Structure 1
């Protein structure tokens, strides 16, 4: 395969993820060996390992037809095959959104979702869970003919009536450009497929790269899921323009509505000025050609509102040819290598930082919890050793008095244990109230009620009110949940402080948590709804049936996904809040029993003081050794997380 900069950086990024997974695996084995593991921490480690293993890097390519988008994908990622992997040529080649990825659990294949599914109230995300809805074409990844033949499917079209195209959301009578698509026979050409997924064992795809090939304005507008999640959540979006055409009116609309704007993150958004070979002119000097290209780049940057260095000129066709032929001069002239450099330098470090931020806090918290357990054990052993040393040279009465004191400590702890059980009950009630605000049944009921209201609505105002009420209710519930999170946090802080004073437990601040990130996601979805549909023009321009059955269903499915994520993360946080106290109470109880047993055996003369003190000193050494080993593991984890090899500016 080609050894380009993106491939090199991605390989380093994959090795970085693996280094963190290796440390987590070592930590898990160490916990088991030292009998420090429990179900809760095992679950948390597995969650982080799954996150690292399933991590994806999403790159979307967006362009109007005939801008060389598929050729650019071939040039950057697939030139090592010596031929075009994706169909590329004059006219429209990619007719439906096409996703390239690799899932080891599935056959090498092309999965195709029929365009007819657009009329159903089911999003692409939901269809992913319904394998029988897809047509599957398996192919041989080692056969050029097999791959080329299979990938032709993404270009397949059929001719339909205006009414059918309209019902599929692919024709809008009020748009003049759409009227021009009608042929002399009164029919329109539409794609056969709504969405395509190519499961292909390319090295980068196997490492977690996901490529989204998105056809023009009509295809984006007809599939709300692209605008709601796929494009906004992509780690990089490359908007491909033609150097010969500049930025057209329809491209400005694509940029403004679907890629730029306040609701999108601006990092990773780049424009590619393709087909610069069209400016190469043997009758002009190199300086004249460069001046013309510079002017085009400046104009593009001004129109799109992007910094000049985020407008990248290239010739995908010449770059692909140069790579296949091994022509270094042509490769440099195509400027493809510079595009790859910019993409990798922008994309990989940003993605690395996202993963680092999401995992570092979890690792630190887990290791801190283990440290608390060990320090609790150590303190108990030191206290026992001090008690026994105080008994050296004392008579039986003093030992009996110590026995009574330890037993009283045990009684006091049992009272504290009852208080803890009461706290556990209150915590359970509070948790249930928190989940009531985030309840999935209530959410699904609200979705159903809103859908029914919109379907029955006779006027635009009623539909708008239904959507406004929908989001208002969702956000209120999320804010109520956040208030409840704060109440639980304050209650647990107070209880940690109380148990610290009364029983010597190490005080621990509950980990931070807020539902604000989900509220932010809801606000983003609401912005999409308002931008695209909450105006009189758009409400009239889109049929009510299309709006309710497609846009709303897609929007609702993403709201449900956000609520499911909020429920999962809330459950994890609640476990993290109560687990240290449970662990310390359990450990304290075990150590108290050992203290009672130790003094009892001395009192009954079955052990000598010296023997017992020597045993405790060995236990102390063992615990200190475990703390040192934990420090080493923590150091390894922090070094792996901070390692910046991925973003070293390699030649």
Structure 2
């Protein structure tokens, strides 16, 4: 068995810190050798931000009373020596809860009142409205205070049926899913809509985010959770009762919120929890094992997942074993097997994504800086050939050389007019693409869908409108790809002209690749269309719920469009940075050439000295190129070395 999830995540965090440090050193080294332009700086910043802010989200999903919070305690918080998340009898997580760490905020529990559902804002919008959250400071040194404070996530309100209906917890046409009606005519609903727990737990500090979700009713009532947060999690742990297996409500959660046709879009692990309820003196260990294996096989078949993804555990016994350092009980609990599965599936997937990002980013850095080095090398070669041609020549020849250089400089200055015109056309085309991917255009694309869903009654044609909407969204992205191609073609033609007329060595970077965003759009469509099943038809009949669903869609699409626009902008900077770099280097070259001729005119030794200087500069340039390959090679090798160390 390999390293546990905690150990692998700890290694992952150490790699991220080391990588960020090496990236910083690379940036400082490039700046000291004047290799930093706008495009290179942008690439460095993006790589650093991606690695530093890299998050790994693990969502725990279950119907009520499956031991979900206890499982979170056992995997992540056993070091506190007690339960941290509320998991005792009668106490359960009533609202979606995110556990993470933000160093810029003090340790705290923030709670968003459930009444915010009555207002036309999504969860993403409420996150930035800090005044609407109840904030409770947390003392991370005091486990008892921490646990007492976190019990608030299990608080409830008693409200009328009418208010429960408005909040999305009461459906006249779905009586089986409604909360129990009390003798006073009131029902219990969660007091809080969402909870954010910010604590400097070692794993959370390194980028782990734990998403603890409530049962079916609460999950289904918050579309943003269902179609945004859970689908984007890097792993989903779905918890069943070992004694009951897959119940009807479990199957409903799985089919409506978790089943995916996209394979491993996120790792799906199924946990049969509370296996200790099957341990008794009347059954032999072999009989218990046989019973568990039948439950695993049946659960795998009902959910349509490979058998190896169904893991039997006892979260409660695992927690006790960790606290009491009881290795035998820990092994019997099955918890190490689950942690190993999490480590292998989640971390290997995340590291693969980061490796690809690092390789791509470093390749871009090398291409950008390689062009600058080649410009310098070409100018040095030209200067060397020019100076060697002056050996043994008289003063009039040297004067003629100076005049020719000045004429070249005047002709070169004329290129700036054409370059300015190119910039104007380029920026206009780019602005048009940004408008296609902007929030105003996105809102217009979603207007028909929003209008259709806001109507009362059953939305029998909702799926058709969704499909039409996503057809338009795909067309928009396709147009952005086509526009990128047009800009690429325009720059290619103009660069060839500038190269021919003014001796530049401009080369347009490869056209921006936006296929990943087209794939992401397909995944979003899949999660939303899946959500339109019969089970949610009655919820969709409520305009308020439908509005929340559209807001959730808009939030996620905005992220996709903004990311695509950012990639286009980076590509654009890469192209225009070449112009800036070559203009800068060419001006320096003219200054050096004129300075060299002046020195030759003033002293006979000037020519030899200048040739020696250029030879030294060429050697230095070769060293810079070699050192750049070494530094960037170390960055590429780091993720691979980390992966090999973990699997050793």
Normalising by structure 2, we get a TM-score of: 0.93
Which residue is equivalent to 2:327? 328
Tell me, in whole angstroms, the C-alpha distance in 2 between the residues paired with 1:371 and 1:316.
54
Secondary structure at the aligned position of 1:118 is classed as helix
Query: What SS does structure 2 have at the residue aligned with 1:391?
Result: coil
Q: Give 3-state SS (helix, strand or coil) of 2:339's partner.
A: helix
Distance 1:647 1:193, change over 3 A: farther
Shift of 1:607: 6.3
Matched residue, 2:296: 297
**Contact kept in structure 1, 2:59 and 2:213, CA below 8 Å:** yes
| Correspondences of 1:526-545 after superposition (within 5 Å) | 526-533=525-532, 538-545=536-543
Partner of 1:272, secondary structure, is strand
Could you list the per-position Cα deviations for residues 280-331 of structure 1 after superposition, in whole angstroms to 9, with x for gaps in the alignment?
A: 2323322222222111111111111111111111111111111111111111
Which residue in 2 is equivalent to 1:588? 586
Which residue in the other structure is 1:547 paired with? 545
8 Å CA contact 1:349–1:646 kept in 2: the answer is no
Q: In the aligned structure 2, how far is the partner of 1:419 from the partner of 1:66? A: 71
Residues 301 and 308 in structure 1, CA contact (< 8 A), matched pair in contact too = yes
DSSP-derived class of the 2:389 partner: helix
| Equivalent position SS for 2:60 | strand
Distance 1:529 1:10, change over 3 A: closer
Residue number in structure 1 paired with 2:316: 317
Which residue of structure 2 aligns with residue 598 of structure 1?
596
Return the match for 2:634 from 636, 642, 646: 636
Corresponding residue for 1:275? Answer: 274
The one-character-per-residue Cα deviations of 1:61-90 (angstroms, maximum 9, x if unpaired) are 011111111111111111111100111123
Are the equivalent residues in 2 in contact too, given 1:492–1:510 (CA < 8 A)?
Answer: no
Bigger mean CA deviation after superposition, 453-462 or 223-232: 453-462
SS of the residue corresponding to residue 121 of structure 1 reads: coil
In the alignment, what sits opposite 2:188?
189
Instruction: State the partner residue of 1:556.
Output: 554
Task: Spell out, residue by residue over 1:449-477, the C-alpha distance to the aligned partner (whole angstroms, 9 max, x if none).
Answer: 75456546788468677655544443332
Alpha carbons 2:279, 2:288 under 8 Å: kept: yes
Provide, for residues 201-241 of structure 1, a one-character-per-residue CA deviation record: whole Å limited to 9, x for no partner.
21111111110111111111001111111111111110011
Is the alpha carbon distance of 1:195 and 1:267 closer, same or farther for their aligned partners in structure 2, counting shifts above 3 Å? closer
Question: In the aligned structure 1, how far is the partner of 2:123 from the partner of 2:349?
Answer: 27
Distance (Å, rounded) in 1 between the aligned partners of 2:538 and 2:74: 43
Change beyond 3 A, Cα 1:71–1:441: same
Query: CA separation in 1, counterparts of 2:265 and 2:444?
Result: 36
Aligned twin of 2:126: 127
User: What is the CA–CA distance in structure 1 between the aligned matches of 2:516 and 2:636, rounded to whole Å?
Assistant: 26
Q: For the residues of structure 2 that align with 1:143 and 1:159, how far apart are their CA atoms?
A: 31
Taking the aligned partners of 1:631 and 1:624, their CA distance within structure 2 comes to: 11
Name the structure 2 match of 1:619: 617
State the SS of the aligned residue for 2:282: coil
Equivalence for 1:53: 52
For the residue of structure 2 that corresponds to 1:273, the secondary structure is: strand
Tell me the SS of whatever aligns to 1:424.
helix
1:78 equivalent in structure 2: 77
- How far apart are the structure 2 equivalents of 1:122 and 1:95? 21
Contact 1:268–1:346, Cα closer than 8 Å, also in 2: yes
- The CA deviation at 1:395 is 2.6
CA contact (8 A) 2:402 2:594 kept: yes
Alpha-carbon distance in 2 for matches of 1:7, 1:179: 39
Q: Which moved more, 1:548-557 or 1:226-235?
A: 548-557
CA distance in 2, matches of 1:270, 1:221: 20
Residue aligning to 1:577: 575
SS in 2 for 1:643: helix
The 1:231–1:28 alpha-carbon spacing in structure 2 relative to 1, beyond 3 Å, is same
Distance 2:319 2:460 in 1: 53
Distance 2:400 2:293 in 1: 92
How much has 1:559 moved relative to structure 2?
2.2
Pairing of 1:72-151 with structure 2 (within 5 A): 72-91=71-90, 93-151=92-150
Q: How does 1:220-369 map to 2 (within 5 A)?
A: 220-263=219-262, 265-369=264-368
Q: Report how far residue 263 of structure 1 moved.
A: 5.0
RMSD: 2.6
Aligned 8 A contact 1:119 1:550 in 2: no
Moved more, 570-579 or 596-605: 596-605
Return the offset for 1:42: 2.7
| Secondary structure, aligned partner of 1:58 | strand
Structure 2 segments unaligned to the other structure (5+ residues):
none
Whole-Å separation in 2 of the counterparts to 1:425 and 1:553: 36
Distance in 2, matches of 1:36 and 1:392, equals 33
- Alignment check: 8 A CA contact 1:20 1:637 kept: yes
Aligned-partner Cα distance in 2 for 1:285–1:452: 62
Q: Which moved more, 1:490-499 or 1:117-126?
A: 490-499
Q: Contact conserved, 1:454 with 1:466, CA < 8 A, in 2?
A: no
**Structure 1 residues 573 and 17, CA gap change in structure 2 (3 angstroms):** same
Go from structure 1 to structure 2 and tell me whether the alpha carbon gap of 1:461 and 1:251 turns closer, same or farther (over 3 Å shift): closer
State the Cα deviation string for residues 78-103 of structure 1 (Å, max 9, x = none). 11111001111234511111111111
* Whole-angstrom CA distance in 2 between matches of 1:464 and 1:283: 53
In the superposition, relative to structure 1, how do residues 302 and 314 fare at CA in structure 2: closer, same or farther (>3 Å)? same
Tell me if structure 2 keeps the 8 A contact 1:120–1:550: no
Q: Which runs of 5+ in 1 are unaligned?
A: none
Per mean C-alpha deviation after superposition, the further-off stretch among 340-349 and 597-606 is 597-606
Looking at structure 2, the residues matched to 647 and 474 of structure 1 have their Cα atoms a distance apart, in angstroms, of 43
